[in-house]
């Protein structure tokens, strides 16, 4: 099991991709990887997502099951617009 809090916060794009590829490889081998992030694009690539807003779980599930709406509500912005930018 790996628990990582904002593991790529200060990395450039290339190294961010490498870190997440490493995590994905570990998951494919059966490891549990838990990542805390504010990066909505990375959250959308996860197998499962838990959204916390002010310490309350507001979403738990797969990204395609309402994640964009939950993040929009939690952040108070239209996340869909951010993802399209």
In the chain, the number of structural domains is: 2
Is 7 in the same domain as 45? no
Residue 15: per-residue pLDDT: 96
Is 49 in the same domain as 85? yes
- Give the 3-state DSSP-derived string for the chain, with helices as H, strands as E and coil as C: CEEEECCCCCCCHHHHHHHHHHHHHHHHCCCCEEEECCCHHHHCCCCCEEEEECCEEEEEECHHHCHHHHHHHHHCCCHHHHHHC
Task: State pLDDT tens for residues 64-74.
Answer: 888 888 888 88
Domain range spanning residue 49?
40-85
Whether the CB-CB separation of 40 and 82 falls below 8 Å is answered with: yes
Task: State pLDDT tens for residues 8-43.
Answer: 999 999 999 999 999 999 999 999 999 999 888 888
């Amino acid at each position: 099991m790996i628990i990582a809090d904002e593991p790529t916060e200060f990395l450039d794009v290339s190294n961010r991709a490498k870190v997440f590829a490493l995590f994905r490889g570990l998951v494919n081998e059966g490891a549990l990887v838990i990542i805390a992030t504010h990066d909505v694009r990375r959250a959308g690539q996860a197998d499962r997502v838990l959204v916390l807003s002010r310490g309350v779980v507001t979403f738990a599930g797969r990204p395609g099951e309402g994640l964009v709406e939950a993040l929009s509500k939690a952040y108070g912005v239209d996340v869909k617009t951010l993802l399209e930018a």
